[in-house]
Amino acid sequence: MPASLPPGPKLYAANRRLAAARHNWPPGALEACERLDAVHGPRWSTSWRHPWRDEPAGFYASHDDHTHLERELYAATPEALDEAIRAHVDCPVEGWRVRWALGL
């Protein structure tokens, strides 16, 4: 990897900024994702997406222990996604890997 590329979360943040610009995210969506990542990172990654197939437009989040069998969290608003992330971490079945990874 070239030395000019930033490491880990900085690279992800730079790529997300490019994606937001290229895919015409709505005003405020990028800033909302950055706020969510500041609260729930580095284990959680958030993004905004246009509608695709059967998935609606809105905010999505996945965690580091996310498996291919587990759906990403979805919410129409950043506030609702924040609540969904908190509920997922607190869930005794769904969130056990997340709680373990976060040391909770």
Which tens digit of pLDDT belongs to each residue from 18-46?
Answer: 999 999 999 999 999 999 999 987 788 89
Residues 6+ away with beta carbon under 8 Å from 30 = 16, 17, 20, 48
Residue 2 lies in a domain: no
Rounded CA-CA distance 68/71 in Å is 7
Q: Which domain holds residue 49?
A: 8-102
* Structural domains of the chain, count: 1
Residue 13 lies in a domain: yes
Helix (H) or strand (E) holding 86: helix 78-90
What pTM did the predictor assign? 0.75
Residue 27 lies in a domain: yes
Residue 36 lies in a domain: yes
Residue 56 lies in a domain: yes
Which tens digit of pLDDT belongs to each residue from 40-73?
Answer: 877 888 999 999 888 899 999 988 776 666 778 8
Residue 38 lies in a domain: yes
pLDDT band at 8; cut points 50, 70, 90:
confident
Residue 3 lies in a domain: no
Query: What pLDDT, on the 0 to 100 scale, is given for residue 93?
Result: 47
Residue 1 lies in a domain: no
